[in-house]
Amino acid sequence: MHAPTDLESGIRDRINSLDGFGNYSPITVPFADRLDTADLLRWRAQARLWRNAAGDRAEARAFAEAAREAYAAIGMKRHVEVAEALLAAAVGESA
């Protein structure tokens, strides 16, 4: 494939040399640090509320409850309040 710049050409050459590389082949990237599970749960709850498809409020409620418990376990009081606001939004209350 023709690349308009030397940089793009170099990147394409390197990508094409990866073992098993293809259009639908995954490339994995290791995480150096542990992922913050509580934040991931909170953002998944928020994403479900934004999307608002069938069943999303129930999933948002479950994620928000799990995030609240995780934040409480590590003593993050302000984050517990954020998770509780998401939980209230998921059950249809004003936060």
Show the domain range for 56.
37-90
On whether residue 80 sits in a domain, the answer given is yes
pTM to 2 decimals? 0.63
56-93, pLDDT tens digit by residue?
A: 999 999 999 999 999 999 999 999 999 999 999 999 86
Q: How far apart are CA 61 and CA 22, in angstroms?
A: 38
Which residue carries 């590389």 as its tokens?
Answer: 21
Has residue 1 been placed in a domain? Answer: no
Choose among 26, 31, 65: nearest CA to 48.
65
CB 27 within 8 A of CB 42: no
φ/ψ of residue 64, rounded to 5: -65, -40
Evaluate whether residue 22 is within a structural domain.
Answer: no
